[in-house]
Structure 1
Amino acid sequence: MAIEYQSFVVAQAPVVPVRAKEREQAEMVSQLLWGEVAGVISETARWFEIVSADGYRGWIDRKMVCPSRVSFMDAVYIECPVVKTAFAAFVSTGTDSGLLYLPMGSRIVGFQKENNRFDVGKIQYQLIQGDVDVPGWSSVDQCLCTARQLLHAPYLWGGRNFMGIDCSGFVQLVYGVNGVSLPRDAWQQACCGKEVASLSEVLPGDLAFFSRPEGRISHVGFLLSPRQIIHASGCVRIDG
């Protein structure tokens, strides 16, 4: 049955927690990053029940988003610059002058590459640290370089940014800023691509999946070599 959306909203905070229930104490199941669009399916005075572009359903604080002029289905096809470093720092002008830190993967609608700035209403933000560019595939080496930028980021269930990230969020984020869209959960990511018969055949950048005794996939990471992996386990780290 198709989901009917009441409206669409866009994240206007660096990180927006997506919770299992409409209360602050509820489990955080995922996050929206700045500029990401979600569809609203119900609402209360304080909360929106949303579905994110990657299919996650949950509740967000409505103060952390604003109305979106496009659906997330349309947003996918808009070539939008994203933060490609662990974070980007912007200095703002006007009465609300200060610093804005946006995590990797944030979508910067209206970013002007020629002068490294964007506007939100009457406030102008000037990039002073980090890199913002249109996502696109360059090479496996560049993808793994992106992954290494997140080394030592702490593990956080439901996290998708350098201040806290889970294993599948790490993989989704790194591939996403390099132009490859993947689902949110490890078991979904395992359904993408082609299975490799043995470790002797793996290449750098391939994904390794781990399962529980009953067979359910519960963990994922990037292989750097047949015996070395970078993954979010306690923190983003390299094991071998």
Structure 2
Amino acid sequence: MALDRRLHAYRDDLADTVLQGQVTAARFTSGAPARLAVPVAGLRPRPDAASGIDTELLFGEDVAVFDRADGWAWVQATTDGYVGYLPESALATDGGQPTHHVIVPRTFVYPGPDLRFPVSAALSMGSRIAVVGEAETRGTRYFLLADGRAVVAGHCLPLGTYATDDYVAIAARFLETPYLWGGRSGFGIDCSGLVQLALQMTGRTAPRDSDMQASGLGAVIAREDLRRGDLVFWKGHAGIMTDEKTLLHANGHTMTVALEDFEAAVKRIGWLYEMPTGYRRPVA
């Protein structure tokens, strides 16, 4: 099996135990469990704040930590297996087990159960929280967290339950969200991040990057068979068909998540990325 450094944790000095016999490393480890303790953290290919991000992890997501050094942690995300570096301060090893996830593009965390309180943080869709209680203030119901903070209950559902099975409708909720290279949140998102997160919020799994999605997500279809929910791929880009003629995608042209006539998009994108490389239909 060909190894991909984005999905397999190996360096000359250290590697994941599961890769013994496949790679050469001075030492092997299985990784220690930890969980993201900040709203969003960029995962980078190097322990360097000046390097671009490959993807993002969201509050409450689990990782395996292979190494900690100089304020950085080398981790692998449990959600999609992505490997990279993030600030060690973004992780926690204790705290309650998540019970719910955020199902709206963005929500606020308050210091207590009252929308008039000053906001203490903001969380993206897909974030996972540990609910320990409930409260109601002036008719608004809140979920309480272990540290006393509160989140609007209507913005969350128990883990394993979803608001809809229509992933296109989920993706459309991100319209006009800023484009962010490597982004995977309601604060900024890229093309493949939009595909992945929208599918995840309907209970489906998807690889992170567009090349991974283009080679193995769902089934190959023909261009003339495109319908709502199908995916279109270019070299380095992915989009979602909302119907036979309209493409929804996070893109660097508008720098937002936007709707675009599909044929017009093919012509516009063609000068830089050539013609689409494939079409796929996610498995229901």
TM-score surpassing 0.5?
yes
The corresponding residue for 2:180 is: 156
How far 1:81 moved relative to its partner? 2.2
Is the 2:107–2:151 Cα contact (8 Å) retained in structure 1?
no
- Secondary structure of the residue that 2:145 maps to in structure 1? strand
The amino acid across from 1:93 in the alignment is G
Is the 1:137–1:178 Cα contact (8 Å) retained in structure 2?
yes
Task: Specify which of 196, 212, 215 is matched with residue 172 of structure 1.
Answer: 196
The amino acid across from 2:107 in the alignment is A
Task: Specify which of 173, 197, 202 is matched with residue 222 of structure 2.
Answer: 197
Aligned-residue sequence identity (percent) comes to 26
How far 1:167 moved relative to its partner? 0.7
How far 1:195 moved relative to its partner? 1.1
Matched, 1:47 2:72: yes
Task: Give deviations 1:133-181, integer Å, cap 9, x for gaps.
Answer: 14437343xx222212111112111110122211111110111111111
The corresponding residue for 1:215 is: none
Task: Specify which of 29, 32, 36 is matched with residue 61 of structure 2.
Answer: 36
Is the 1:34–1:107 Cα contact (8 Å) retained in structure 2?
yes
The corresponding residue for 1:84 is: 103
* Counterparts of 1:232 and 1:111, CA distance in 2: 36
* Counterparts of 2:106 and 2:122, CA distance in 1: 7
Task: Specify which of 86, 103, 106 is matched with residue 60 of structure 1.
Answer: 86
For the pair shown, which has the larger CA radius of gyration, 1 or 2?
A: 2
The amino acid across from 1:109 in the alignment is A
Unaligned ranges ≥5, structure 1: 212-217
Count of aligned residue pairs for this structure pair: 220
Is the 1:186–1:209 Cα contact (8 Å) retained in structure 2?
yes
How far 1:229 moved relative to its partner? 0.6
- Structure of higher RCO (CA pairs closer than 8 Å, 6+ residues apart): 1
How far 1:83 moved relative to its partner? 1.1
RMSD: 2.5
Task: Specify which of 219, 233, 239 is matched with residue 221 of structure 1.
Answer: 239
Is the 2:105–2:174 Cα contact (8 Å) retained in structure 1?
yes
* Counterparts of 1:7 and 1:181, CA distance in 2: 23
* Counterparts of 2:157 and 2:125, CA distance in 1: 11
- Secondary structure of the residue that 1:51 maps to in structure 2? strand
The amino acid across from 1:233 in the alignment is N
The amino acid across from 1:59 in the alignment is Y
How far 1:16 moved relative to its partner? 0.9
How far 1:87 moved relative to its partner? 0.5
Unaligned ranges ≥5, structure 2: 1-16, 20-28, 136-140, 262-284
